[in-house]
Amino acid sequence: MSTRGPEKAMVLAAGLGTRMRPITERMPKPLVPVGGKTLIDWGLDALAEAGVRKAVVNVHYLPDMLIGHLKARRTPAIAISDERDQLLDSAGGIVRALPHLGEKPFYILNADTFWIDRDGSNLARLAAAWDAEHMDMLLLLAAPAQATGHTGKLDFVMDDAGRLRRAKDAADGYIYAGAGIIHPRIFEGASAEPHSLNLYFDRAIAEGRLFGLPLEGHWLTVGTPDAIAPAEAVLERERRTS
């Protein structure tokens, strides 16, 4: 277990999961089971392996179900950031949770994506690559060839130093894998109102302080019911070959 990296994490779990209907008519998306484990537990297990002691989880849709599920976890310890009153989007949710997260860099993790590690923890690799002097954010990235379930466009291209810029219509590039390390200084003066992390990505790009790290392994995203079976097929294949 790594002790060098962030000891706290923000898990973004408050979304409505509309594309996962009808499953999400009866449960929040982070509780959808894939490969015998809920989506959020895939992420929380990865955080625990990387040495995270406290994870802040934001809740909005069917919050009591999610809170009840998380009560069973011991590692990492769970703090709930309640957004029942208003869904705050990715950045607004983090700003509300900052009192739990403190002044040191912390992991961010989307509750609906996960990955199969190869040759060690990808979160530990992020921690080893983190450089607070030169970075405001360091994002885990997946190449299309190592992704299952992604149906959108590429998100970023990366230069030789690891700096990122928007992919736009680039033929080659990376998908944001829904995990990273963020320094809380980027939220100085921000309000806990609905707004997206994309605003901060673009600011960091403009200042040359957004960096990326390609993951080692395979990345899975489960955005619709049809994406569950392909993800489980990859997990089963991995179990047979490991």
Q: Tell me, yes or no, whether 180 lies in a domain.
A: yes
Structure confidence at residue 239 (pLDDT):
82
The pTM of the whole model exceeds 0.85: yes
Q: Tell me, yes or no, whether 1 lies in a domain.
A: no
d(CA 88, CA 85): 9
Q: Tell me, yes or no, whether 222 lies in a domain.
A: yes
Residue 20 belongs to what domain range?
A: 8-241
Structure confidence at residue 33 (pLDDT):
95
Q: Tell me, yes or no, whether 196 lies in a domain.
A: yes
Structure confidence at residue 63 (pLDDT):
93
Q: Tell me, yes or no, whether 29 lies in a domain.
A: yes
C-beta of residue 136 within 8 angstroms of C-beta of residue 174 = no
Question: If 0-12 CB within 10 Å is exposed, 13-18 middle and 19+ buried, where does residue 105 land?
Answer: buried
Per the DSSP assignment, residues forming a β-bridge with 165 are 157
Specify the number of domains making up the chain. Answer: 1
Q: Tell me, yes or no, whether 211 lies in a domain.
A: yes
Query: Could you state, in chain order, the average pLDDT of each consecutive group of 10 residues for the chain (242 residues)?
Result: 75 92 94 95 95 96 95 94 92 95 96 89 95 96 92 92 93 94 95 93 97 95 92 90 72
Structure confidence at residue 242 (pLDDT):
65
3-class DSSP assignment, residue 57: strand
Q: Tell me, yes or no, whether 3 lies in a domain.
A: no
Structure confidence at residue 2 (pLDDT):
36
Residue 4 in tokens: 């060098």
Q: Give the CATH number of the domain where residue 115 resides.
A: 3.90.550.10
Q: Tell me, yes or no, whether 56 lies in a domain.
A: yes
- The candidate with the shortest Cα–Cα distance to 231, out of 105, 57, 112, is 112
